[in-house]
Structure formats: C-alpha cells, structure tokens
Structure 1
Amino acid sequence: MLTLLPAAPQKAFAAGDGLNGTLSLVIENDIFYSDQYYTNGVRASWTTAADKKPDWALNAARLFPFFPDNSSVRTNYAIGQNMYTPKETDSKNPPSDDHPYAGWLYGSVGLIAENGRQLDQIELTLGIVGSVSLAEQTQKFVHKVRGIDIPQGWDTQLKNEPGIVLTYQRSWRSYVSKSFIGVPFDLTPHAGGALGNVFTYANTGITLRYGKGLPVDYGPPRIQPSLPGSGFFVSQKDFSWYLFAGVEGRYIARNIFLDGNSFTDSRSVDKEPFVGDLQMGVVVTKGNVRLGYTKVLRTREFKSQSSDRQDFGAFSLSMQF
C-alpha cells in the first residue's frame, strides 16, 4: 500500500559531508532541438562547505528573517553567460517580431541555508547585457569550430546595459514514502521570485524524485529562470540514482531579453505574462561526483513566437573538494 507521510526532519549531512566545497558546471543548450530563442547558457559555481567562512556570509544569513535558525549555511559564487537569438539566424536584419539577439554575462554571490527538510536560497547577480557580454563572439567561435552556419544578425542585438537581479527561492521536502515497490520518492514544492532590470517574476512549482539511495538534495543545479536545484549534494559511497520530473509557473513582469533595453530604444517583442516549464531527467551520484541531465519544455514566451514551446537540455557536473 502506498502511504504518504510528512517528511521526518533529517540531518543535512552524513558523517564527513559538509566538510567539502562543491564545484558545479552547468551547460544548457538547444543543440538537440533547434538553434533559437534561449540558445545557450553556461554557469560555473563554487559552493562552500557548510558553516565555513567568510564570517560576513554567516552573519548575514543569521540576520535574514526567512532562514531557519537550525540550518547549515553555505556561500555560493558563480559566473555565467547566456545567449539568445531569433529563429532565423541567416539574415542580417531578422524580422522585428522575432526574438531579439541578446547576451548576458554575469557574476553572482548567494547564501544557501538548509536543514535537511527546507532549502532557502538568496542570490545577488550583477552583469552586463549587450555586446560587452561577448555572446556574439562566443557563438560565432563555436559555430566556426563546429563547421555550421554563422549567425548574421548580431548587429541588431540589445544595447549595452548593466544588469542587476536579486532572487530568492524556498524549497520544502514535504512528503516522503518508501512503500512504492520498495523505492523511495519525495515531493518538493518551491516558491520564490526575482527582482531587477533583467528579470522580475514570481514563481512556484513542485518536483518529484524517485530512485535508489535517494540523497538529501533538491535536484541538479540549473540556470535561472528555472526550477531550483542545489549546487551541494551528499556524497554517496555506493552508486545511487534518481529520476525526477517537475513543473513550474512564472508570472513575468520584466524580461529584458524580450522587453528590450530599459533606458534606450532597442528591439523588443510582446512577451507572454505567464510562462510554464515542464522538466524531467536523471541524476547519478558516486563518491564525490554527481552528474545530471534535464530536458526542459518551456511554453511560449512571446506572442509572435512561431512555436508553442521551446525544448532544450541541461547537463550538470558537480564535484566535491
């Protein structure tokens, strides 16, 4: 008989876990689907060990009203680059109702609080939109190396603009059962939002995990906006795996890559105010290494979009040191 029970409080780490930091690399790309819209994202991050210095981060976390008192606190540092293109990339002057060319180069610092049952993440991101992001050079270089057509319309990309985004997410490991054919699963609702000139939105959703040796984590890391994951994880002596699936809805008040520049004329399209993500994937962990793959189906983001959704894949590699 299948029984759902509230998740019992768990220690965030097994013995020895939490002593190491975690290096994560995430690559999101539509290479297996189509080269359009959100076409590539790369993010590298370092998540410190639990309750380690710097002292300013620990003190800030203790003052933040949403972080539970009994949580372990980590600091997360990240750098990344996103690029966006229209559907038609062989024209120097793509249609004005297609997705604008745009790049986003950024750095982030964040705090993560986790107590085995709840995960709070707050992150401040600073960066630059426009030609200074080097998205044009990056995409042209990759296309040249791969021997495929070079995108022609980057002269129409968004103008240079400094960007700032403050994001907050909370996830709850709310239900656990070990009675479904002997394999554990859990359900993790989440809610949060972002505020800034690059992204402003509110989001909520839920993720289901099902697998062998289900570890105390919250899914693989992703590039925002997305369903939340965790850069850290609990190392596993034996090989472990889990499948996962999740849904998220976002109300979008601001998306610079669709709305265009904030203070100067640029290309823009009429965005859809509500966007949904459906994701599914697999995570495997052995020792201090975790690998994850996520397939994402994203609903229409702007009104003149030629397709009802966009599909892309996300690979993640996390290693503890």
Structure 2
Amino acid sequence: MAASAGAQQIGPLADASAPARDDRGGTLTLEFENDFFSTTDRHFTHGTKLSYVTAERSPIENDVIARAARYVPFFPDGARARASYSLGQNMYTPEDISQTALIPDDRPYAGWLYAGFGLVAEDPDRERIDNLEIDIGVVGPWSQADTTQRKWHRWFDFDEPRGWRNQIDNEPGVMVLFERTQRGARADLPFGLETEFLPSFGFALGNVMTYASVGGTVRIGGDLSVDYGPPRIRPSLPTGGFLRREDGFNWYLFAAIGGRAVAHNIFLDGNTFSDSHSVDKKYFVGDFQAGLALQYDGWRLAYTHILRTEEFHGQDTPDRFGALSLSYQF
C-alpha cells in the first residue's frame, strides 16, 4: 500500500522509490450530470456544479479554517482541515416534456440554484473523512433552470421543454449536510494494484431536502490514497471532493450502493410555504453506481453511471443518468 499523503518517512525506513506527495494545493472540480448518458430526458435531468476545496491545514496552524474545524464537536481531534466552496444548479422535469399542461401524476418541474460552504476534516492517518456543509439558494423560477434547459435543448437540437410554467414556486432554500466516509478493509493485489471498501453515512436537514443515508464503495486500481472517490452532485454517496497529486498515470474502478430514508424532498413534495404541484414520494430510495477514474499528475477525469430507484409512487422504472467530473489539484 502506498504511503498516505502527508505521512513522510524520515531515515533508513523511508521508501526512496515512493513518489513525492504534495498536499499544498487546492482542488478545482467541474461536475456535469445528465440523463443524456442514458438516452432519457426526465426527472433529475441535469446538474452542474463548480467547486473548490482548499489545501489542507494542520491543527497547529493558526488560520480561520483550522480554527473553525476545532469548533465542530464531531470532527476528530488532530484532524487536518480544508474549506470547500461550490456553486451549482439542478433541474427536474416530468417524463413527457412536450406537454404544456400540468401532468398531475408525474414529478413537478423544478430548479435549484445554490452556493455551498463547508469544512472537510481528515484524520492524520487518512482513515476517515468528515464533511460539514451548508447550501443556500433558491428554487422555482429564480433558479433559472427553465432558461438553462431551454437554451441547452435549442443549442443541441433536443426536444423543446414546454411545461416549465408549471414548475414549483419561488422559495429560498437552505440545507445543512454532514457526511462521513471511512477507509475500511483493504488489500494489496498482484501487479501493484490495491483494493478497498469505504463505508459511509450522512444526513441532510432543511426545507430543500431532509434525509439520512448509508452506503459503501468498493474500489480497485493503482494508488487509492489519492482521494475518497470522485465527487458527485447531492444526493449521492459522499466523497472528500479533493485530489492528491500523483506523479504520472493512476487509475481505479469503483462500484457503490447506497440508500436514503427521505423525510422531505421539495422537488417531489412541492413548496414548503405555498401550494404547488407535488407527487406522493417514496420514503426509501436506493442508488447503485459504477465507474472509472483516470488521473495524470494533478488532473483527474471520472465517469460514474448511476441507477436510482423509483422516487415517487407512479414512477414506472428507475432513473439512469451519468456523472462526468474533471478535477485539477493546483
């Protein structure tokens, strides 16, 4: 197993052949999720997210990020902290976007435009990562999801979405999220490969979504200590959102399963403070995903294919969509 980042060995036990690891830079990531990858156009139909996770700060550093992490009671003592910043937009539609009339038994048109601010704390031994984040934004026409989808479909000559006038109403949205991922069982394999299992759990509270989640990821590939898996737009299985530079080429395959107990989902339940289109949601939703991550030096390109079980009563089949992300560690 490759030595973990930041745990440099000194003296005769040091591995002179081990590549130098540099954690001083932050990670910038552009994420793009769309059901185009599964040739459908419905439900969670598109998400875009731009995020930046800072370089890590040690507990002894006297800066605002390290001090803030020490005040979070469930962050581990001695954790190395990072701050995260993000801007994203999600859009949701019924299955038939050609109709102008409201479709009562299919999910509402809805958009979510938000900014995220968070803290990421990792144990010094790299065995656990905690993520605390608050997302603040708007749903409804203020989100501009209708404008984005119309322009996107016009540019690529896709079918015109005609029912956005039926979308849920404008509403400010707040969501607080906590996620934890643990490096679990791991093993070295022939040909310099590694494999590991990463169990995870989390929860979200707010008028946008309220849920509790649990899941696990299996990975196999080269140096797995470079990250905790490629990022995803929430709700999803959690990852750290950052990348450690690896000299030369690195890769891994992954597969994951997760489930959520959903108490509230504004994109299905409709507006919190006004009447709007809604459907009868399901309280338990599962995600199954698999994909490939490729890394060269500070760059990472990852693709994830997701199958999400039915989210509301009357939905006939699970949803399928893809997630593409490009990250760079400065």
Superposed pair shares fold, TM > 0.5: yes
Determine the structure 2 residue equivalent to 1:297: 307
Specify the SS of the correspondent of 2:36.
coil
Return the alpha-carbon distance in structure 2 between the equivalents of residues 212 and 203 of structure 1: 28
Determine the structure 2 residue equivalent to 1:254: 264
Residue 23, structure 1, aligned to residue 22, structure 2: no
Specify the SS of the correspondent of 1:32.
helix
Residue 114, structure 1, aligned to residue 105, structure 2: no
Return the alpha-carbon distance in structure 1 between the equivalents of residues 320 and 192 of structure 2: 33
Paired residue for 1:281, among 277, 291, 296?
A: 291
Post-superposition shift, 1:182?
Answer: 5.2
Q: Is the 8 A contact 1:10 1:117 kept in 2?
A: no
Paired residue for 2:253, among 238, 243, 262?
A: 243
Paired residue for 1:62, among 64, 70, 74?
A: 70
Return the alpha-carbon distance in structure 2 between the equivalents of residues 237 and 313 of structure 1: 28
1:108-257 to structure 2, matched below 5 A, reads 108-115=116-123, 116-179=126-189, 183-257=193-267
| Unmatched 5+ stretches in structure 2 | 9-19
Residue 316, structure 1, aligned to residue 321, structure 2: no
TM-score norm. by structure 1 comes to 0.94
Query: Are the structure 2 counterparts of residues 54 and 263 from structure 1 closer, same or farther at C-alpha, using a change threshold of 3 Å?
Result: farther
Letter in 2 for 1:46: Y
Residue 93, structure 1, aligned to residue 101, structure 2: yes
Post-superposition shift, 1:69?
Answer: 1.7
Return the alpha-carbon distance in structure 2 between the equivalents of residues 70 and 11 of structure 1: 15
TM-score norm. by structure 2 comes to 0.91
Query: Are the structure 2 counterparts of residues 54 and 295 from structure 1 closer, same or farther at C-alpha, using a change threshold of 3 Å?
Result: farther
Specify the SS of the correspondent of 1:64.
coil
Query: Are the structure 2 counterparts of residues 289 and 216 from structure 1 closer, same or farther at C-alpha, using a change threshold of 3 Å?
Result: closer
Return the alpha-carbon distance in structure 2 between the equivalents of residues 288 and 48 of structure 1: 14
Residue 79, structure 1, aligned to residue 84, structure 2: no
Return the alpha-carbon distance in structure 1 between the equivalents of residues 226 and 184 of structure 2: 12
Query: Which runs of structure 1 show a deviation greater than 6 angstroms over 4 or more consecutive aligned residues?
Result: none
Query: Are the structure 2 counterparts of residues 245 and 16 from structure 1 closer, same or farther at C-alpha, using a change threshold of 3 Å?
Result: closer
Determine the structure 2 residue equivalent to 1:3: none
Determine the structure 1 residue equivalent to 2:56: 50
Return the alpha-carbon distance in structure 1 between the equivalents of residues 190 and 260 of structure 2: 31
Determine the structure 1 residue equivalent to 2:16: none
